[in-house]
Amino acid sequence: MSSKILEYFDYESDKSILHQVDPRGKALFVVVITCITILFRELVPLLLILGAIIPLTFLAHFFKKWMRTILILLPLILLIIIINALLLKVEYPTTIGIIMALRLIILTAVYGLFFQTVSPDDISQMLIKFRLPFTFAWAISTAYRFIPTLANETNIIMAAQKSRGLQIDRGNIFKRARNMVPLLIPIFASAMRRSWQLAEAIESRGWNATKNRTYLYSLKMKWWDYLVILVCLAIFGLFLFLVITQVDLPIWMQLYIPSKYELKELFKAAWDWIKGLFTK
Residue 93 burial (10 A CB sphere; 0-12, 13-18, 19+): buried
238 binds another protein (CB under 8 A): no
Regarding 167 and contact with another protein (CB under 8 A), the answer is no
Is 101 or 128 the residue whose CB approaches another protein more closely?
A: 128
Contact status, residue 246 vs residue 41, Cβ threshold 8 Å? no
Binds another protein (CB under 8 A): choice among 194, 249, 253, 264: 194
User: Which of 198, 243, 255, 266 forms a contact with another protein (CB under 8 A)?
Assistant: 198
Measured distance CA(84)–CA(205) in Å, rounded: 55
Nearest-angstrom CA–CA distance, 142 and 120? 7
Q: Write the CA distances from 181 to 149, 161, 168, 236, integer angstroms.
A: 20, 11, 10, 46
Q: Of 139, 144, 127, nearest to 208 (Cα)?
A: 139
User: Considering only 23-31, 83-91, 208-216, 265-273, which stretch makes contact with another protein by CB under 8 A?
Assistant: 208-216
Q: Does 120 bind another protein (CB under 8 A)?
A: yes
Q: What angle do CA 26, 31, 36 make, to 5 degrees?
A: 125
Using the rule CB under 8 A, is 15 a contact of another protein? no
Of 49, 69, 71, which is closest to residue 116 (Cα–Cα)? 69
Stretch in the footprint of another protein (CB under 8 A) among 27-35, 61-69, 80-88, 117-125: 117-125
d(CA 114, CA 30): 7
Number of H helices, E strands in the chain: 11, 0
- Site membership for another protein, residue 192 (CB under 8 A): no
Q: Does 23 bind another protein (CB under 8 A)?
A: no
Residue 91, interface with another protein (CB under 8 A)?
no
Question: b/e map of 40-74 (b: 16 or more CB within 10 Å)?
Answer: beebebbbebeeebeebbeebbbbebbeebeeebe
Q: Which of 2, 163, 172, 204 binds another protein (CB under 8 A)?
A: 204
Does residue 34 touch another protein according to CB under 8 A? no
Closest separation in Å from C-beta 225 to another protein: 21
Query: Does residue 135 belong to the site contacting another protein (CB under 8 A)?
Result: no
Compose the 143-162 pattern: x for residues touching another protein by CB under 8 A, - for all others: --x--xx-------------
Q: Does 212 bind another protein (CB under 8 A)?
A: yes
| Least CB distance to another protein at residue 120 (A) | 6
Sites of contact with another protein (CB under 8 A): 13, 119-121, 138, 142, 145, 148-149, 193-194, 197-210, 212-217
